[in-house]
Amino acid sequence: MPQNEKKIFKQKFKFLDKYLDLYKKDYLSEFKLAKDFVFERLNRRKECTFDYPPYVYYKEAIDKDRNPDNLFDLWPDKTPFVMCFYFPFCTNKCSYCTFTNLKKNIVSEFSDYLKYYKKELLMYKDLIKRNKISHIYIGGGTPTLMTEEQLEDLLKFIKKHFLPYLLKPLDEIEFTCEASPPTLTDKKIKILKKYGVNTITLGVQTLDPKVLKTIGRYQTKEQVINVLPKIIKLFKVNVDIIAGLPASNLQIFAQDLNTIVKLKPQHLGVYLLTLYDHSKLGQSDYYVPRKDYLQYYDLAYKTLSKQGYIHSTFEEYSLDHKYRLMYLEDFLENNLHLTTGLGDSGFTGTHWYNNTDDMGKYKNYIKNGLLPIDKKYKMTIADLQVKFIIYGLRKLNLNKKEYLKMFNEPIEKRYSLEINALTDLGFLKHEGNKIDLTYEGKRDFELIMQFFMRL
């Protein structure tokens, strides 16, 4: 990757400087008008992102970093982390998706991957013994695409090698598995329950058949309505829904929400469609205008609030605080997550790293006793500060006291201009040591992020 790519990425956001200049000159009315233009420019360019650092910051890892023995130097001693298990297969790749997944449904290929994957997992065992696991997350891809035998075999392996090293007893941690409605059979539900899974994230996105066909997703409304009541009785259930999909509109989105809410899942993630260049949809001319984004957000908030749901992050809702997603809260709090499998990424506290998304390379690394890490990025102090701010706002609690403790300087030293401007715009509010998003800030979080990410 070219050395100047990070610089080029940052230069894209230089146009934000002139709006901060307007603020410095007290042209607040002009500054407020500018936000529409800024959002439209970011959205049309597919530059909005909720993660930090952006993927373009990554660079090639050097060979010695692939040696498992070097892991102890990257992770802080005795600091627990979320452990993520990644299964990279799907029946089809949705048009908006940016995750590594292979469009295959061949049982023998699953078995071959899992053979190598178990070997990768065991390379982390000494690190896990030392640091301990705070929560477990099995994602993808579609983990429930595995056969019942393969799923049970993987869960047995996790139970044997990793559950002994939990930070807390199993019933006090969150053990999550992602699932898709058509692949979650009754027997798989029993298997998940048997091995201690207590949370299921169900990828629904929409119930409308025309929208499902447009985005290339193979499921039906009936499958969702059939499986949800079964799992809600046994697990904490999170349902993911996406607003702004092609062929959708406010009426379809409202119907989706109302149908799901009647079934009372304990948690919902309602995500406004974010476009990236490395997705099929991101390479098209499609985009969602800001006014439509805001309407979708308002509709979701109004619908879910009436049904007793409260914000757990700016885009996620739960029926009660006890139903919040603990792994996500932990991720936003200390950000440490050990990620395993083809093409996924993790964070050690100082480095973001990304496993190779090439199956051939992945297998070769494992054969040679090396970790399949292909890219990494060492965070600078400024990077860590921006990450702290963005993730703090995402979880609706940017704590100035914690910032001071972590960076040995007040947050206002470097970011007073941005914080003051966003406060005067009505996006941020202050309460003691806490900076939080206002309702307007939650609606426009994409815009808020860019004011910090450009630095």
Query: What is the C-alpha separation between 135 and 334, in angstroms, rounded?
Result: 13
Whole-number Cα distances in Å, 20 to 31, 300, 450, 453: 8, 31, 12, 14
Ordered mean pLDDT values, 10 residues apiece, the chain (455 residues): 54 69 75 70 53 65 75 83 93 81 75 96 94 95 95 98 96 96 97 98 97 93 97 97 95 97 96 81 83 93 96 93 85 83 90 90 95 87 90 93 96 92 92 95 86 70
- Residue reference for tokens 């896990």: 128
Q: Is the torsion defined by CA of 272, 273, 275, 278 positive or negative?
A: positive
CA 174 – CA 167 distance, rounded (Å): 11
| Of 352, 398, 354, 395, nearest in space to 377 by CA | 352
| Eight-class DSSP state of 435 | E
pTM above 0.85, yes or no: yes
Neighbouring C-alpha atoms within 13 Å toward the C-beta of 119: 16
So what's the pLDDT on residue 449?
84
Say what the pLDDT of residue 316 is. Answer: 93
DSSP 157-185: HHHHHTGGGBSS-GGGS-EEEEE-GGG--
Which residue type is seen at 390? I
pLDDT score of 87: 94
Q: Which element (helix H / strand E) includes 199?
A: strand 199-205
- b/e burial code for range 334-357 (CB count within 10 A of at least 16 → b): bbbbbbbbbbbbbbbebbbbbbbb
Please report the pLDDT score of residue 407 as a whole number: 95
**237 contact partners, CB below 8 Å, separation of at least 6:** 199, 200, 201, 202, 228, 231, 265, 266, 267
Residue in this structure with the two tokens 């950000």, named with its chain if needed: 335
Strand duo 175-179 + 89-90: pairing: unpaired
Q: What are phi and psi of 390, to 5 degrees?
A: -65, -45
Residues 6 or more apart whose CB falls under 8 angstroms from that of 95 comprise 214, 215, 216, 246, 279, 280, 281
CB distance 309 to 317 below 8 Å: yes
Query: Cα(273)–Cα(445) distance, rounded to whole angstroms?
Result: 13
Nearest Cα to 84, choosing from 130, 139, 154? 139
